[in-house]
Each structure stands twice: as C-alpha cells, then as structure tokens.
Amino acid sequence: MTRTAAFDERADHVWASARRDYPILVKRDLQTLHWRFDDGPYRHLYHRYYFTRRGEIVGYAVLRLEQVNGNVIGRVVDYLVVRRFLAPALALIIAEVARTGAAAAVFAQWLDGCEILLRRLGCLRTRSSHRCGFKLVDP
C-alpha cells in the first residue's frame, strides 16, 4: 500500500483488472477518479493509495480523516481491488487508519462480498446501513 498525491494511469489498470470481479460497479477509471477526488475543492482532504503485489497494481483506496464527536476517524471513502486481493487490502487499509492515530475506521462503502471479510477483520456494522466500523486498539 503506497500513498500517491493524485491518481494517474495506474487507475485505468485497476479498473481494467477489477471491474469484472463485481456484478454491480460504478465506473472507476482515471477520468472518473480525477473528477471525484483530484479536481474538486476538497482534494486536499483525501489520502490516495495504490496496492501492489509483486510489482503489479491490484487496487486503490481513498481515505479521509475527519473529526467526529471530538475524535478523529478514518473514513474509507472509496476502494477498488482485484477480488482475490480484497482481504489483504482491507487489512492494510485498517492498519493505515490505525497508523494515523484515528480512533476508528469507517467504511463509507463496501464492495459486494466484503462484509464477511470485514467481520473477520474485527469490523462490525454500526447501523442498519451498509457501513461497517472498526474500533482500533488504544496504544
């Protein structure tokens, strides 16, 4: 998991590699990611990451640190990962949020089939929506 300042052509590789792994998916190519995260007035709030395995790009994630009730939380705004690497990618996302010192990781969206993986990683659904939260261990 490597941080990047903005999305680049690697995003198109992720889109081409992962899009067939999910039955329903909003387009997430480079143009769409630029529009959503790199070109808007809130671009400075997003932390962008690429996932690689053996030198190949297999996914990306977007995090945003926010103040909620006096605590910092890490909101996982978006991610797309080749399905066979989804479990390790989710674990790396949670570890990155913990590294920032945030009190919790909140998954604002999740891909089809990841709810079981999130539960195995210690997450729990905090509302009747599709959001899952993860309370990090106090250092």
Please give the sequence-ordered ranges of beta strands (E in DSSP) within the chain, or none if there are none.
2-4, 46-53, 56-68, 71-81, 104-107, 124-125, 132-135
123 or 81, which is more confident: 81
Question: Which residues make Cβ contacts (< 8 Å) with residue 41, sequence separation at least 6?
Answer: none
φ, ψ dihedrals at 133, nearest 5°:
-115, 160
Q: Out of 101-105, 107-111, 128-132, which region has the weakest mean confidence (pLDDT)?
A: 128-132
pLDDT grade, residue 118 (50/70/90)?
confident
pLDDT value at residue 119: 82
120: number of Cβ within 10 Å: 11
Are 123 and 95 a contacting pair, CB within 8 Å? no
Q: CA 32 to CA 52: how far, in whole Å?
A: 21
pLDDT at site 32: 96
Q: What is the pLDDT of residue 125?
A: 72
Residue 106 pLDDT > 90: no
Higher pLDDT, 139 or 63: 63
